[in-house]
Structures are given as C-alpha cells and as structure tokens.
C-alpha cells in the first residue's frame, strides 16, 4: 500500500465490452458488467440483479465489482446528456438523416437514454467490432452512413463508415480513424458538418453547369457549326472571353462558400430536406 488510500495495481487489463481486471496486493479485482461476472463464474444474487435493473431503467449503467471471486459492490454510472442532444437529433430528422444509437451498453440503459433524446432505432450490447458490422449492414442496404464517436471502441466503426466524425475531445485512436474532427465538444457541429457538406456539393454541381455551358454552347458556335444554317459565328476574341468568363464564374461561385454561416441552434428545426 502507498500513501493515502491508493494501492499498488498490477496486471491491469481492459476487457472490451465487459470491463477491467487487475491485481491489488495479489488479489484479483474485476469491475464490469454482468457478462464479465458470468464468464468469471461469479453469481449475481437476485436482490443485486433487481438493483442493477433499477439503475438501468433510470438511464444509469450498473457496474459490478468482484473481489477474489466474490461480488462485493455495485456502482451506478451515468453520463449527463448534452443539453443540445435532443434538438440535434430532431434537427437531423428534419434534414432527412435517420439517427441510430449503437452502444456497448445494456438494453435498458440504452433505451432509457434514447427515449430522452428521441432516437427510435437502438442497437445495444454491441462489441467494438460489432459496431463496424452494424455500419456495413446499413451500407449493404444502400445507405450512406456517417458515424459519430469519441472512444477507442468507436474506431472500427469510424473507419468503416462512409463518413467518420470524431469528437475533438475524444481519444487519439478515434480521431485518427475519422474523416472529420469536430473540434468543439458540441453535437451542433454534426449538423454544421452535414449542412456545409450539402451546400458544398450543391455548389460543385452548379460549377459544373457553368463550366459545361461554355463547352456545350460557345465552342460549337466558335467552331462555326451553326454558320451554314444560321450564319452565326463567334469572333476569336469573343470565344476567348467566354472561355475566361466560364473559369471566372466557377471561381466566383466557389468563393461564395466563404459567406457560409452555420445554422443557429434555434434555427436547426427550421431546416428542411432539399
């Protein structure tokens, strides 16, 4: 034992989707969910199971603690919901985006949280590799999938998604696996990223129209295609000016994106599918 209440810990290991285990003064300590206890042959009394269920139904995660093969405690852990979570979920729906919760947490806790924020589709008790499988299942159905995550367990799904968005305050592994990094720890940035991407893509298509207008209309006229029938032809200097203007129009159109303003939180619900 060292100073205060801190003990020497050895053989610490993370068990993905289950919990952790370590040795303290040579004694085995397990901290995790029911699956970890069951795999370790530790019985969970009925009254403890009922207490864990109560925690889960109140949107908390029940964490079991075992010492040398005996269950000795239960912890109730909860992440406070972000204040903007519910309105962002509703805003995504207005944009035609279907939100899905994919979590390694238990079903009761996941459903309680999903109910608070308004998510209908919940996939719970999913292992890290399973999250990537969920992403691929949506892709097989023809959907374009964006994954938002911040932890090590999210990195396989972030890499598998068409667009991976990592929260800036997340782990380095998640950030490296993502395509986008949302610098603020704010879910509103998900709305901003999607809205800006859509406007950028719309601008790209408009630029193609500007560029093709010269190729489809001006070049045939300059080449004299319509001269025999209509007597129309463009002088070389006019054709050159039109070509320059087609490039200038594309550049000016692209520069308009500099005037982009992200949707305000109060205006998110006014977004409609284009």
Query: What is the per-residue pLDDT for 267?
Result: 56
| Cα separation, 8 vs 99, whole angstroms | 44
Domain residue extents for the chain: 9-77, 85-187, 191-270
Mean pLDDT of the chain, nearest integer: 85
Task: For the chain, give the longest Cα–Cα distance.
Answer: 100
CATH-assigned architecture of domain 9-77: 3-Layer(aba) Sandwich (3.40)
Residue 167 pLDDT greater than 70, yes or no:
yes
Structure tokens, 215: 């190729």
pLDDT of the residue at 42? 94
pLDDT recorded at residue 256? 87
- Asked whether the predicted pLDDT for residue 269 surpasses 70, the reply is no
Q: How far apart are the first and last CA of the chain?
A: 64
Residue 134 CB neighbours (<10 A): 17
Tokens, residue 32? 């995790």
Domains 9-77 and 85-187 agree in fold: no
**Which pLDDT does position 3 carry in this prediction?**
47
Q: What is the pLDDT of residues 107-155, one digit of tens each?
A: 888 998 999 999 999 999 888 889 999 999 999 999 999 999 887 788 8
Q: Centre a 10 Å sphere on the Cβ of residue 66 and count the other Cβ atoms it contains.
A: 21
Per-residue pLDDT at 271 exceeds 60: no
Overall pTM > 0.75: no
pLDDT at 104 over 60: yes
Q: Choose between 238 and 128: higher pLDDT.
A: 128
Confidence at 273, pLDDT banded by 50, 70, 90: very low
Report yes or no: 15 and 36 within 8 Å, Cβ to Cβ: yes
What CATH number is given for 85-187 in this structure? 3.40.50.1000
**Average pLDDT, integer, range 191-216:** 87
Check residue 171 and give its pLDDT: 66
pLDDT at residue 120 in the model:
93
% of residues, the chain, pLDDT over 70: 93
Contact 224, 233 (CB under 8 A): yes
Pick from 171, 140, 141: nearest CA to 154: 171
Which stretch, 56-70, 211-225, 257-271, has highest mean pLDDT? 56-70
């Amino acid at each position: 034992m060292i100073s205060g209440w801190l003990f020497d810990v050895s053989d610490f290991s993370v068990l993905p989707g289950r919990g952790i285990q370590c040795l303290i003064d040579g004694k085995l300590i397990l901290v995790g969910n029911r699956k970890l206890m069951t795999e370790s042959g530790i019985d969970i009394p009925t009254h403890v199971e009922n207490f864990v269920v109560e925690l889960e139904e109140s949107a908390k995660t029940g964490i079991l603690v075992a010492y040398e093969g005996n269950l000795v405690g239960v912890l109730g852990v909860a992440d406070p919901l972000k204040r903007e979570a519910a309105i962002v979920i509703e805003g995504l729906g207005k944009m035609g985006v279907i939100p899905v919760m994919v979590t390694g947490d238990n079903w009761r806790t996941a459903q309680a949280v999903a109910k608070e924020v308004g998510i209908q589709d919940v996939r719970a008790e999913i292992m890290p590799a399973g999250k990537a499988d969920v992403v691929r299942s949506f892709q097989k159905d023809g959907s374009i999938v964006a994954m938002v995550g911040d932890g090590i367990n999210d990195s396989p799904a972030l890499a598998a998604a068409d667009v991976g968005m990592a929260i800036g305050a997340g782990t380095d592994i998640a950030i490296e696996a993502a395509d986008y990094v949302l610098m603020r720890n704010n879910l509103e940035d998900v709305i901003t990223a999607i809205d800006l991407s859509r406007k950028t893509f719309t601008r790209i298509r408009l630029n193609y129209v500007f560029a093709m207008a010269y190729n489809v209309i001006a070049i045939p006229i300059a080449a004299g295609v319509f001269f025999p029938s209509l007597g129309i032809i463009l002088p070389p200097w006019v054709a050159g000016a039109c070509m320059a203007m087609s490039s200038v129009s594309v550049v000016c159109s692209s520069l308009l994106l500099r005037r982009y303003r992200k949707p305000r939180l109060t205006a998110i619900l006014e977004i409609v599918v284009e």
